[in-house]
Structure 1
Amino acid sequence: MNIPNKITISRIMLIPFFILLLSYPFDWGTVSLGTTDIPLTHFIAVIIFAVASATDWLDGYYARKYNLVTNLGKFLDPMADKLLVSAAFILLVALGMAPAWIVIVIISREFAVTGLRLVAAGEGIVLAAGQLGKLKTVIQIVAIIVLLLHNFPFNSIGLPVGDILLYAALIITVISGIEYFIKNWHVMEDSK
C-alpha cells in the first residue's frame, strides 16, 4: 500500500475517536476560548476533525505529485471524506447544533453523487470532482469546525457564523450536486 492510501486509511481510523468524543458523555470540563466556554471533548473532537480533514488534501497532493494515484485510492479517498463529514453532521444533529433536515439534504446529495460515480465506474469512467464540489467540501468542513467550537470566535460579536456557514454549505451542496448531474448525465444515458 502506498503512502497516500496509508494517509487516507489514517483519516478513516480517526473517525471512531471523533465519534466517541462527541457521542459519549465524557465530563472532562470546559475550555475557555475568549468569552466562550466549550466542552473539552468538543475541542479535542475539532482537533481530530481538522487533522483528518487536512489529510484529505495531503493524500491527494502526495498522490498527484509522485504519480501514486491508484484505484484503491480513488475508492478510499471519497469514501473517507463522506464518512468523516457525514459522521460530523449526524453528531451535530444529535447535539442539537444543526437541523436534521439540512443534514438529510447534504447526506442525500452525497449518496446521489456516489451512485452516479458507481454507475460511471461500471462503465470504466472516472468522474472527477468539480470546483463547486471542492468549494462545498471546504465550506462544510469550516461550518462543522465553527459549530463544534460553539461559534467561536464570532459569538463575541453576536454573529451566528456557524449557522450562516451551515446554510451556505447546504446551498453550495445542492447547487454542486445539480451541476455534477447535469455535467455527467451522459453516464446515465450511456448505461441504458
Structure 2
Amino acid sequence: MTTPKDSANSGSGAAKPSNWNLPNVLTSLRILFIPVFVWLVLSGQQWWAFGLFAVLMATDKLDGDIARARGLVTDFGKIADPIADKALMTAALVSLNIIGVLPVWITVVILFREFGITLWRMWMLRNGKVVPASKGGKLKTVLQSLAVALYLCPLPGWMDIPSYVVMLLAVAVTVVTGAQYLMDARRHN
C-alpha cells in the first residue's frame, strides 16, 4: 500500500536525505566539542586533549564514510564538515602556539593556505566549478592530524625532534598541495 508521501516521492526521483542524520550529528558534535578541546590543551590536560583530538578526528573520517555508504550526503554536511575540520585544526594549532610548543610561523603558513584555498574553492563554486579534494589534500590532512597528535601527546623529550619533523613534512605537503590546486585550476582555464 502506498501512502501520499510515497506517491509524491515516486514522481520526483530519489528523496533528499534529512539533515537530521548520524553523519551530520557527528559533524555537529565535532564543532561543539572544539571549546572543550581548547580548554583541555590550555589547562595542561594533555592526555585528555590528545584523546579528545583523536576522537574528533576519527569522527571526521567516520561521518564521511557513513554519509557516502548510506546515501546521507546533504548540503548541510557538505558545508559543515569542512568548517568543522578547519575549526578543529585552527583551534589545535593556535592552542599549541599559546602553550608555547609550536612555532607561530607554522600556524601562519598552514592557516594562510587552508583559508586561502577554502576561499578560492568557494569563489570557484560560485562560478559553477566544483574543486574536489585531491589525494594530496587528503595526505595533507593526515599529516597535519598526526603532527598535532604528536604535539598533544605527552611524549618523552627525545620525541620533540620527530614531532617537529612530522610537522615540517605536514607544512611542506600543505604548501605544495595548495600550489598544486592553483596550478591545476590555471591549466583548466
- 2:136 aligned with 1:132: yes
Question: What percentage of aligned pairs have identical amino acids?
Answer: 38
Q: Tell me how far apart the structure 2 counterparts of residues 142 and 179 of structure 1 sit (CA, whole Å).
A: 22
Code of the aligned partner of 2:184 = K
Code of the aligned partner of 1:15 = I
After TM superposition, give the deviation of residue 144 of structure 1 in Å.
Answer: 0.6
After TM superposition, give the deviation of residue 160 of structure 1 in Å.
Answer: 1.6
Structure 1 gap ranges (5+): 26-38
- Secondary structure of the corresponding residue to residue 33 of structure 2: helix
After TM superposition, give the deviation of residue 171 of structure 1 in Å.
Answer: 0.4
After TM superposition, give the deviation of residue 4 of structure 1 in Å.
Answer: 1.1
Higher strand share: 1
- 2:32 aligned with 1:13: yes
After TM superposition, give the deviation of residue 124 of structure 1 in Å.
Answer: 3.1
- 2:91 aligned with 1:99: no
- For residues 2-54 of structure 1, what are the alpha-carbon distances to aligned partners after superposition, in whole Å with 9 as ceiling and x for unaligned? 2211111111111010011122x4xxxxxxxxxxxxx5x11101111110001
After TM superposition, give the deviation of residue 127 of structure 1 in Å.
Answer: 1.7
Q: Tell me how far apart the structure 1 counterparts of residues 180 and 66 of structure 2 sit (CA, whole Å).
A: 28
Per the alignment, residue 111 of structure 1 pairs with: 115
Per the alignment, residue 169 of structure 1 pairs with: 170
Q: 1:1-192, aligned counterparts within 5 Å?
A: 1-23=20-42, 25=43, 39=44, 41-150=45-154, 152=155, 155=157, 160-185=161-186
Q: Which structure: larger Rg? A: 2
TM-score (norm 2): 0.84
Q: Tell me how far apart the structure 2 counterparts of residues 42 and 115 of structure 1 sit (CA, whole Å).
A: 32
- For residues 36-86 of structure 1, what are the alpha-carbon distances to aligned partners after superposition, in whole Å with 9 as ceiling and x for unaligned? xxx5x1110111111000111001101111111111111111110000011
Q: Tell me how far apart the structure 2 counterparts of residues 125 and 4 of structure 1 sit (CA, whole Å).
A: 25
- CA RMSD between the two structures: 1.7
- Secondary structure of the corresponding residue to residue 129 of structure 2: coil
After TM superposition, give the deviation of residue 183 of structure 1 in Å.
Answer: 1.8
- Secondary structure of the corresponding residue to residue 160 of structure 1: helix
Aligned residues: 170
Q: Tell me how far apart the structure 1 counterparts of residues 68 and 112 of structure 2 sit (CA, whole Å).
A: 29
